[in-house]
Amino acid sequence: MTLQQALLTAVQNLPNAISIRRKIIGKNIMSLSQRIIAALYSITNQEAYGFYFAYEPELIERIIEITELPFNEDSVKEVKSRLPGVMGALKEIGVEITHPCENYVTVWGPGVRRG
């Protein structure tokens, strides 16, 4: 599944999905924020139980790998700086990031029961 396909799948249940899907399809290049959202959705979609638990730097590395960014210090800083800004959009598609322990994160996929 490409990042664009993951993003299209992630937004399919939103109230204005048709409009959002047209905008995504109409663009040839996805923004970094869109790529991060698609990567996080893709990560939870690939997990057997629908959630991903990792040390925060591991999650950043996985996002960089999926988004095909160059693995360097600038990419790490850029992804870390964008994560707080995409939380609202992630929540809209049903993905949530929690911090159960210091320096660890859980990425919950759409429809996964937290318990």
Which pTM value belongs to this model?
Answer: 0.81
The token pair that represents 93 in the structure block:
């598609």
Q: What percent of the chain has pLDDT over 90?
A: 54
Summarize pLDDT for 33-56 with one digit per residue, the tens: 999 999 999 999 899 889 999 999
**Helix, strand, or coil here: 106?**
strand
CA 35 to chain centre: 7
Does pLDDT of 26 surpass 80? no
Which is nearest to 38 in space by CA: 8, 80, 64, 70? 8
Read off the amino acid at residue 23: K
> Residue 8 CB: number of other CB atoms within 10 A?
17
- How confident is the model at residue 1, as a pLDDT? 72
